[in-house]
Amino acid sequence: MSCTCGRSPTGRCIGWHNLSEKDYENKKIEWEANQKSAEDAA
């Protein structure tokens, strides 16, 4: 299912549309850190 709210970093809906702005920013930072860790491990 594609994301139309524009918040999903993957382009697929992951439920971030219901988050407050602050929660969204925190999730985004967390997601980016996890992506960086995954890239560093590869």
Q: State the average pLDDT over residues 6-27.
A: 95
Residue 21 predicted with pLDDT over 90: yes
Whole-number Å distance between alpha carbons of 6 and 36: 21
Q: Where do the domains of the chain lie?
A: 1-42
Report percent pLDDT > 70 for the chain: 100
Confidence of residue 42 (pLDDT cuts 50, 70, 90): confident
Whole-number Å distance between alpha carbons of 32 and 30: 6
Please name the residue that has the structure tokens 């590869």. Answer: 42
Q: Residues 32, 20: contact at Cβ < 8 Å?
A: no
Residue 1 predicted with pLDDT over 90: no
